[in-house]
């Protein structure tokens, strides 16, 4: 049984959370309303800025033409594939680097160089090697997500409390036992954080790839709209992308909460 003070605390916490959600919704409604009014009374150039009503009309038109969900599914599919591969490959390489410090010292400068290199600059090379298809898009996303995952997870491994490691060493624990019993559990929050970062990095990589080679997907919609000066389509694509990105982030956050709850 909770005490009266604790019940009051939970009630205030719930009330505050509800207030925050209401303010977020009101802020969104306010932005949309202001945008529509500015466009309606021609305070802003609708050719450049579009308007909520025009964006909605464009999205409905895409739906009627049976293109909307096809473009969304294409981008989501490419993102999920690159996210999964990037996460698995990144964690495996981070483990190898932690396990063998010599290998880490050898490739550390190359990781830094690749991480700082604008990946879009490698687009033409990727297209030549892998073709103008979905493979190039996934590779582009992997170049972004894998390096970020490696660096993030590896830093989590080496940030583990050294006293705990020394304690296990004093009991003659093997390197595998140290990793399994101390390093991995201690790095769990870092790994979860890397997942949140990785999902956004994968989406960025996919959109960059779609700008270059795709004939479908949200990135293609944005690029095509800019080429034919259809700003309604461009802004519609950006808004759809924002919604998809937010939903994917919510899914990762939900998985995080479920895993924490199980622990």
Find out whether 178 and 165 touch, Cβ atoms under 8 Å.
Answer: yes
Three-state DSSP state, 190 = helix
Mean pLDDT of the chain: 85
Going by pLDDT thresholds of 50, 70 and 90, the confidence category of residue 2 is low
What is the residue whose two structure tokens read 């700008």? 211
Q: Please tell me the predicted confidence (pLDDT) of residue 6.
A: 67
Percent of the chain with pLDDT over 90: 15
Going by pLDDT thresholds of 50, 70 and 90, the confidence category of residue 31 is very high
CA–centroid distance for 19 within its chain: 27
- Delimit the domains of the chain by residue range: 1-44, 49-262
CA–CA gap between residue 244 and residue 99 (Å, rounded)? 37
What's the token pair of residue 148? 């970020």
What is the residue whose two structure tokens read 């989501």? 76
Q: Please tell me the predicted confidence (pLDDT) of residue 239.
A: 92
What's the token pair of residue 43? 């305070």
Going by pLDDT thresholds of 50, 70 and 90, the confidence category of residue 260 is low
CA–CA gap between residue 237 and residue 59 (Å, rounded)? 9
CA–CA gap between residue 225 and residue 229 (Å, rounded)? 6
In 3D space, the residue among 191, 117, 196, 106 whose CA is nearest the CA of residue 156 turns out to be 191
CA–CA gap between residue 230 and residue 46 (Å, rounded)? 11
Indicate whether 263 pLDDT > 60: no
Q: Let me know if domain 49-262 sits in CATH 3.40.50.2300.
A: no
Task: Tell me the longest C-alpha to C-alpha distance in the chain.
Answer: 76
In 3D space, the residue among 132, 186, 116, 131 whose CA is nearest the CA of residue 156 turns out to be 186
User: Taking residues 134-162, what's their average pLDDT?
Assistant: 87
Q: Please tell me the predicted confidence (pLDDT) of residue 116.
A: 83
Q: Is 135 exposed, middle or buried (0-12, 13-18, 19+ CB in 10 A)?
A: middle
Backbone angles phi, psi at 2, to 5 degrees: -85, 145
Encode pLDDT of 205-249 as tens digits. Answer: 888 888 888 788 888 899 988 888 888 899 999 999 989 888 888
Encode pLDDT of 109-135 as tens digits. Answer: 888 888 888 777 888 888 888 888 888
Higher pLDDT, 224 or 263: 224
Q: Please tell me the predicted confidence (pLDDT) of residue 262.
A: 56
DSSP labels, 153-169? HHHHHHTS-HHHHHHHH
């Amino acid at each position: 049984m909770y005490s009266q003070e604790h019940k009051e605390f939970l009630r205030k916490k719930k009330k505050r959370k509800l207030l925050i959600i209401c303010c977020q919704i009101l802020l969104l409604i306010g932005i949309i309303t202001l945008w529509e009014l500015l466009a309606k009374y021609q305070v802003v150039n609708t050719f450049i800025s579009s308007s909520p009503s025009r964006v909605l009309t464009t999205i409905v038109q895409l739906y009627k033409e049976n293109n909307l969900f096809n473009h969304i599914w294409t981008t989501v599919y490419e993102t999920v594939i690159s996210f999964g591969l990037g996460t698995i490959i990144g964690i495996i390489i981070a483990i190898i680097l932690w396990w063998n410090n010599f290998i880490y010292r050898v490739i550390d400068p190359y990781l830094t160089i690749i991480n700082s290199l604008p990946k879009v600059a490698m687009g033409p090379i990727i297209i030549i090697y892998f073709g103008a298809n979905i493979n190039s898009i996934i590779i582009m996303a992997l170049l972004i997500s894998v390096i970020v995952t490696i660096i993030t997870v590896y830093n989590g491994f080496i940030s583990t409390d050294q006293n705990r490691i020394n304690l296990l060493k004093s009991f003659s624990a093997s390197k595998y036992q140290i990793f399994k019993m101390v390093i991995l559990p201690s790095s769990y929050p870092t790994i979860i954080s890397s997942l949140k970062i990785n999902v956004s990095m994968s989406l960025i990589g996919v959109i960059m790839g779609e700008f270059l080679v795709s004939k479908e997907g949200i990135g293609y919609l944005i690029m095509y709209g800019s080429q034919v000066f259809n700003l309604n389509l461009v802004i519609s694509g950006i808004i759809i992308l924002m919604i998809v990105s937010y939903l994917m982030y919510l899914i990762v956050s939900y998985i995080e909460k479920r895993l924490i709850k199980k622990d």
